[in-house]
Amino acid sequence: MTTVLIADDQPLQRLGFRMLLESQDDMTVLGEAGNGAEAVRLAARHRPDVVLMDVRMPGMDGIEATRRILAAGERTRVLVLTTFDLDEYAYAGLRAGASGFLVKDALPEELLSGIRAVASGDAVVAPGLTRRLLDAYVRHLPAPAAEATADTTEPAVLDARLAPLTEREREVLTVIGKGLTNTEIAERLHLAESTVKTHVSRILAKTGARDRVQAVILAYDTGLVKADRP
């Protein structure tokens, strides 16, 4: 049974989500929150598998709530809901540790499959869309510290977060950051797809990334992948 906490400041929206989720045999709603602070309290109390998190709420917004829920170190994962698929809030949510995002007008089956995917440890953002999202907003961030080092051709190796990775794992992380799927990585690096999956699992374990989305963000943050900046 997948347990879900709904966080949205619109009562009718929460009711709609609850009715949809409780129509499923494998889902149950543990509670509802009307703002971020309440979402943090209820997540700590109930420890749901997934928090369905609206980002635009009064007081503490969904981004800060996501950050605090995940900082608690529980198994709870967050699925962010946004109005537009390339929304700065969606990007901020991913950086805060969310396992993915969906637009609010997603089809019911898309929402249900997204919740199930997040609960099982997968990310809900397709690799290509992840790359578009990061390219759109990472350019507005300060350049990673490693990027400022001009006297080396491999600045990312200097980042402590990459130190546990082998050279091959850094190579795989780089192409993950470029939005390639496992099949595409296998073709690009001339590896078996099962080998790629093993590398991805080891990268997540060694870096502490929660899922593939967080691995993509790590690739940007450490300078392995760079977005075009204005």
In tens, the pLDDT along 15-73 reads 999 999 999 999 999 999 999 999 999 999 999 999 999 988 989 999 999 999 999 87
Tokens of 128: 């290509």
Which residues touch 135 (CB under 8 Å, ≥6 apart)?
227, 228
Which residues does the chain have with pLDDT short of 50? Answer: 145-157, 229-230
Per-domain residue ranges of the chain: 2-125, 134-221
Q: pTM here?
A: 0.69
CATH number for domain 134-221, candidates 1.10.357.140, 3.40.50.720, 1.10.10.10, 3.50.50.60: 1.10.10.10
User: How far, in Å, CA of 27 to CA of 115, rounded?
Assistant: 9
pLDDT of residue 182: 84
CATH number for domain 2-125, candidates 3.20.20.60, 3.40.50.2300, 1.25.40.10, 3.90.580.10: 3.40.50.2300
